[in-house]
Chains A and B, each alone.
Chain A
Amino acid sequence: MTDPLPEILAQCLDALEKGELTLADCLAQHPAHQAELAPLLAAALRLETAPRPRPAAAFRRNARIRLLNQMAAQVKSAPTQPPAPTRTQTLTLGLTRLLAALAVICVVLFAGGAISYTAANALPGDALYSAKLILEDLKLASASDAEDAILQTQFASNRLTEIQLLTVQGRYADIPAAVVRFEINVEGATLALTGVARNDSNATYTLIIQMQRSLSAQAEVLSNLLIVVPEQTRPAIERAILAAHIFSLGG
């Protein structure tokens, strides 16, 4: 015969969790199993009260950036994407990127700023565009929540400028990649604002106003682009406008 205790125990735990019964009620309902049930319920309640460690905010933020960057890269690239790196791999990758970024910085320093100018003005699809994104990620890695929100808004503005330039140059195929990055930056700014809001509501208000103004102005420019881009590019532009509008309206 099957032992009924696992089922009785589960029923009692469910009822306790939902607040439908007290511990005494549960025991009273099962007098034949009281002696066995009581210590088990006590052990369960002991675990229920165990603390829940929280991941560091910096980890949450940086992992999110890495993850969404990975996704954005996949959206941009061909269907066959190499496996996503683990963070251990990413650490190596990060070191490589750091060295690459440092190399870029060194070259920039020694080349009289010519390459710096080129990287800063690189567009999706350009060889130096990844260097531009790496430099942005490096800035974010050491930023506080407030700095993060400001930087992400600046980067979002950069993306919108890139979309405008790509449109002017007729490079419509590269626009979706910029839109995805734009959404990541707006999301990142929103997340960072949540962190700021926990500590300083006044600072949050000021930041939100600044970000709303910036994104609202950019959204207006993008709206004008809708009439000049080809039909297949419009959905991507509309997504960017929607993201900017939702935020500028207090989303």
Chain B
Amino acid sequence: MLPADLPESEIVARAVQGEVEAFGWLYDKYVEAIYVFIYYQVSDQAQAEDLTEVVFLKAFEKLPEFRTQKVMENFRAWVYRIARNLVIDTYRTQKTTVALDPDLPLTSEEPPPENALQLQQDYQQARALIDQLEPQFRQVMILRFINHLSYQEIAQAMDIKENYVRVLQHRALKKLRAQMETETLPVK
């Protein structure tokens, strides 16, 4: 319903002013990516869905803050920051590691792909690797290689300096590589 050529900054501005349709557009654009980011950390489909929904509720509540920020971040990085903080809070509250979800969730209204088994194995291996990293490393790896955020966006999402993102990336990959060698997981 929004004009197709409307820039995202304008859509965000409309959402900030309370335009429901604009916020719906932002939800549609980012819900899947935020879900992936959360799912790779909590390992549980139902919990990932709960937290994803909370992220957008919080984003909606905090929209006025987004408008008043002196340095205008991009909306994507801002929503990821909300998601990251929520996951940290959740871990802090639970203080337990959730067991790996045995199944890669496929959408319930779509038939499973032909290579579902291979996808399942790939997912479990990636999850197993990422899961062993410390939270900060894990987040950088997911944001960079699963969600494809830029270094600047990761810096904004994690509230750290951009240079430090690169340092964390280097350390995390070193650790990841070491794990891959000890566990003889396939390296593509």
Which A residues have a C-beta under 8 Å from some C-beta of B? 3, 5-7, 9-10, 13, 17, 39-40, 42-60, 63-64, 66-68, 70-72, 74-75, 83-88, 90, 144-145, 180, 183-184, 186-187, 190-191, 195, 198, 243, 246-247, 251
Give the distance in Å from the alpha carbon of A38 to the alpha carbon of B105 in the complex.
33
What string of 1s and 0s marks CB contacts (under 8 Å) between B146-182 and chain A?
1010010000000000010011011001101100100
CB <8 Å contact, A6 and B170:
yes
Give the distance in Å from the alpha carbon of A63 to the alpha carbon of B130 in the complex.
28
Give the distance in Å from the alpha carbon of A10 to the alpha carbon of B150 in the complex.
11
CB <8 Å contact, A55 and B146:
no
A93 to chain B, nearest CB (A): 12
Contact partner of B187 among A5, A46, A58, A74, CB < 8 A? A46
Contact partner of B109 among A58, A66, A183, CB < 8 A? A58
Contact partner of A187 among B1, B48, B144, B163, CB < 8 A? B1
CB <8 Å contact, A9 and B173:
yes
Interface size class of B (residues with CB under 8 A): 35 or more
CB <8 Å contact, A67 and B53:
yes
B98 within 8 Å of A by Cβ?
no
6 interchain residue pairs of minimum CB distance: A50-B126, A6-B170, A47-B145, A84-B57, A55-B35, A43-B177
Kindly list chain B residues whose C-beta atoms are within 8 Å of the C-beta of A9: 166, 169-170, 173
Q: List 29 A-B contacts (CB under 8 A).
A: A3-B170, A6-B163, A6-B169, A9-B173, A39-B177, A42-B187, A46-B129, A46-B180, A46-B186, A46-B187, A50-B125, A51-B123, A53-B45, A53-B106, A54-B36, A55-B52, A56-B107, A57-B107, A58-B109, A59-B49, A66-B53, A67-B24, A74-B18, A86-B53, A86-B54, A144-B109, A145-B109, A184-B24, A247-B1
Give the distance in Å from the alpha carbon of A145 to the alpha carbon of B107 in the complex.
13
Which B residues have a C-beta under 8 Å from some C-beta of A? 1, 18, 20-21, 23-24, 27-28, 31-32, 35-36, 39, 45, 48-50, 52-54, 56-58, 60-61, 104-110, 119, 122-123, 125-126, 129-130, 141, 144-146, 148, 151, 163, 166-167, 169-170, 173-174, 176-177, 180, 186-188
Give the distance in Å from the alpha carbon of A32 to the alpha carbon of B71 in the complex.
39
Which secondary structure dominates chain B's binding surface?
A: helix
List 8 extra interface pairs beyond A40-B177, A47-B126, CB under 8 A. A6-B163, A9-B169, A43-B177, A45-B188, A50-B125, A51-B122, A63-B53, A71-B60
CB <8 Å contact, B50 and A42:
no
Give the distance in Å from the alpha carbon of A10 to the alpha carbon of B168 in the complex.
11
Give the distance in Å from the alpha carbon of A64 to the alpha carbon of B49 in the complex.
12
CB <8 Å contact, B146 and A52:
yes
When A40-B177, A52-B146 are in contact, do A67 and B166 touch as well, CB less than 8 Å? no
CB <8 Å contact, A52 and B36:
yes
Give the distance in Å from the alpha carbon of A9 to the alpha carbon of B119 in the complex.
28
Give the distance in Å from the alpha carbon of A180 to the alpha carbon of B10 in the complex.
19
CB <8 Å contact, B1 and A251:
yes
Kindly list chain B residues whose C-beta atoms are within 8 Å of the C-beta of A251: 1
Kindly list chain A residues whose C-beta atoms are within 8 Å of the C-beta of B36: 52-54
CB <8 Å contact, B23 and A58:
no
B114 to chain A, nearest CB (A): 14
Residue in A39, A46, A49, A63 with the greatest tally of chain B CB atoms within 10 Å: A46
Residue of B nearest to A11 (CB): B166
When A43-B180, A60-B31, A243-B1 are in contact, do A75 and B20 touch as well, CB less than 8 Å? yes
Contact partner of A46 among B119, B148, B188, CB < 8 A? B188
